[in-house]
């Protein structure tokens, strides 16, 4: 239907932009109880099907919460010690009442509630597990150089995990969204795994593709109609991307991020609102954006430290959403906000391309840049000196006129 009257059109546009915008319930972040002040690094936090929250640490074991992050209890019995500390726990998954954790060089463990301690699963004893997810009633794990493994139930007390796909492949992230199992690898970006056909298909159309050092997918979030992916680890290929669920091409979605991209660690989505956490390479806390808003905004009131690694969000009741974040130095924090259930799903479209002209210096020789695409110019603190970019990136090196900058031309 076409609307001729401009006043009516503007009114409808205003409604689309404002419906679904978050309204804070908590004025600031609140620290969860039960985490010792000496806690150094909480690597991630996940929420299980029964509402239990599982937080994984570097050297201090596992913490769980059954009251939406208000209080936490330590669970370390049965975990091995490495160098005087408990084994590093990277990730967790909850399935059928069982809590599974993935560790560094010690494989997968299951929490045995009957005795209150962790039990090691049979499989690759020295495997490092990067990510775990429940997909179609199966628990999958992404491993360092062991591809994807799946946990199978046996007739014995112990479960075990067996190879599923890609022996030799390093899998950084596993995410179940829109009925698909998305797989992030250390060299090929995002892919989709079909367990029935046992094949991995590329899902990177629209991402920056020229990545001299590779890009490790950091995080992935899905709402009712779209996806948001985060890439990191170097300036050349990082960023935040989004796409509608009925398309196959990712679009840049990072307006408002004053960051270098290797700082991005986690992402979560509720309705049409996304939450992204930024970590220890100059972390800037939590950023939030609702579809229809022009850019991301910082959301850090009350946080004494902005090195945030994990983030999880879910709808508690009606429009109220609880967000819990895991920090590198200050424990676990929670905050409530409003995300209306009647969210409007705006299409995600590619920004208009422009032809800019810049003058920069390389080896004291001025270079005039005038081509389709845009230019990135960063200092090492992540400040951007040029407009946003669209397309494929090429690293050109340092600029002598700005000794601590790097230049990225985007074709």
Lowest mean pLDDT among 244-248, 268-272, 317-321: 244-248
* Mean pLDDT on 117-133: 88
Helix (H) or strand (E) holding 9: helix 6-18
Q: How confident is the model at residue 320 (pLDDT cuts 50, 70, 90)?
A: very high
Question: Based on the domain organization, do 373 and 310 belong to the same domain?
Answer: no
- Position 349 in a domain: no
Question: Based on the domain organization, do 149 and 274 belong to the same domain?
Answer: yes
Q: How confident is the model at residue 179 (pLDDT cuts 50, 70, 90)?
A: confident
- Position 156 in a domain: yes
Residues 6+ apart with CB under 8 A from 365: none
What residues make up the domain containing 132?
6-338
Which of 338, 367, 384 represents a domain boundary (last residue)? 338
Question: Based on the domain organization, do 28 and 116 belong to the same domain?
Answer: yes
Alpha carbon distances (Å) from 301 to 2, 282, 286: 43, 18, 10
DSSP 188-214: TEEEEEETTTTEEEE--TTS----TT-
Q: How confident is the model at residue 201 (pLDDT cuts 50, 70, 90)?
A: confident
- Position 346 in a domain: no
Question: Based on the domain organization, do 285 and 379 belong to the same domain?
Answer: no
* Mean pLDDT on 346-371: 45
Rounded Cα–Cα distance for residues 72 and 66 (Å): 8
Which of 338, 372, 398 represents a domain boundary (last residue)? 338
Give pLDDT, residue 207: 67
In 3D space, the residue among 173, 149, 146 whose CA is nearest the CA of residue 161 turns out to be 149
Rounded Cα–Cα distance for residues 128 and 107 (Å): 6
pLDDT of 46-105, one tens digit each? 999 889 999 999 999 999 999 999 999 999 999 999 988 999 999 999 998 899 999 999
Which of 338, 373, 400 represents a domain boundary (last residue)? 338
Query: What is the DSSP-derived secondary structure letter of residue 291?
Result: T
Question: Based on the domain organization, do 29 and 94 belong to the same domain?
Answer: yes
- Position 263 in a domain: yes
In 3D space, the residue among 184, 201, 205, 185 whose CA is nearest the CA of residue 193 turns out to be 201
Rounded Cα–Cα distance for residues 175 and 255 (Å): 24
Q: Residue 398 CB: number of other CB atoms within 10 A?
A: 14
Question: Based on the domain organization, do 332 and 370 belong to the same domain?
Answer: no
- Position 351 in a domain: no
Question: Based on the domain organization, do 252 and 378 belong to the same domain?
Answer: no
Lowest mean pLDDT among 128-142, 222-236, 275-289, 392-406: 392-406
- Position 256 in a domain: yes
Question: Based on the domain organization, do 309 and 381 belong to the same domain?
Answer: no
Question: Based on the domain organization, do 399 and 302 belong to the same domain?
Answer: no
CATH number reported for the structural domain that contains residue 21 in this entry: 2.130.10.10
Question: Based on the domain organization, do 192 and 51 belong to the same domain?
Answer: yes
In 3D space, the residue among 302, 216, 296 whose CA is nearest the CA of residue 252 turns out to be 296
- Given a cut of 90, whether residue 230 has pLDDT beyond it is no
* Count of the separate structural domains present in the chain: 2
Query: What is the DSSP-derived secondary structure letter of residue 225?
Result: S
β-pairing, 332-338 with 226-232?
Answer: unpaired
Name the percent of the chain lying above pLDDT 90. Answer: 30
- Position 213 in a domain: yes
Which stretch, 11-15, 37-41, 252-256, 327-331, has highest mean pLDDT?
327-331
Q: How confident is the model at residue 360 (pLDDT cuts 50, 70, 90)?
A: very low
- Position 1 in a domain: no
What backbone torsions phi and psi does residue 101 show, to the nearest 5 degrees? -130, 150
Question: Between residues 148 and 280, which one has the greater pLDDT?
Answer: 148
Question: Based on the domain organization, do 249 and 398 belong to the same domain?
Answer: no
Question: Based on the domain organization, do 244 and 364 belong to the same domain?
Answer: no
């Amino acid at each position: 239907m076409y609307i001729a009257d401009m006043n009516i059109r503007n009114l409808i546009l205003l409604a689309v932009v404002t419906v679904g915008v978050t309204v804070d319930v908590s004025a600031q972040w609140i620290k969860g109880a039960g985490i010792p002040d000496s806690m150094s690094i909480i690597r991630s936090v996940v929420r299980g099907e029964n509402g239990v929250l599982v937080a994984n640490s570097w050297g201090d074991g596992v913490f769980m919460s059954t009251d939406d992050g208000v209080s936490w209890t330590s669970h370390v019995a049965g975990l091995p010690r490495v160098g005087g500390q408990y084994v590093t726990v990277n990730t967790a998954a909850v399935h059928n009442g069982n809590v599974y954790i993935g560790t560094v060089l010690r494989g997968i463990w299951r929490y045995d509630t009957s005795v209150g301690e962790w039990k090691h699963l049979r499989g690759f004893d020295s495997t490092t597990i990067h990510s775990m997810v429940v997909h179609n009633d199966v628990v999958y794990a992404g491993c360092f150089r062991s591809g994807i493994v799946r946990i199978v139930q046996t007739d014995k007390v112990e479960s075990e995990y067996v190879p599923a796909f890609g022996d030799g492949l390093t899998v950084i992230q596993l995410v179940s969204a829109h009925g698909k199992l998305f797989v992030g690898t250390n060299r090929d970006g995002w892919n989709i795994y079909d367990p029935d056909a046992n094949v991995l298909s590329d899902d990177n159309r629209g991402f920056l593709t020229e990545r001299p050092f590779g890009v490790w997918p950091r995080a992935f979030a899905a709402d009712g109609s779209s996806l948001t992916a985060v890439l990191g680890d170097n300036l050349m290929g990082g960023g935040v991307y989004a796409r509608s669920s009925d398309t196959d091409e990712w679009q840049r979605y990072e307006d408002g991020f004053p960051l270098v991209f290797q700082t991005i660690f986690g992402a979560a989505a509720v309705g049409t609102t996304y939450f992204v956490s930024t970590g220890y390479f100059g972390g800037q806390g939590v950023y939030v954006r609702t579809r229809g808003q022009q850019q991301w905004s910082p959301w850090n009131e009350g946080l004494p430290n902005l090195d945030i690694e994990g983030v999880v969000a879910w709808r508690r009741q009606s429009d109220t959403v609880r967000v819990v974040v895991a920090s590198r130095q200050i424990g676990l924090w929670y905050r409530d906000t409003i995300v209306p259930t009647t969210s409007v799903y705006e299409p995600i479209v590619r920004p208009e391309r422009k032809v800019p002209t810049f003058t920069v210096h390389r080896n004291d020789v001025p270079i005039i840049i005038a081509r389709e695409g845009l230019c990135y110019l960063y200092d090492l603190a992540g400040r951007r000196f040029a407009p946003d970019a669209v397309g494929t990136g090429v690293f050109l090196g340092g600029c002598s006129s700005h000794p601590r900058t790097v230049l990225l031309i985007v074709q």
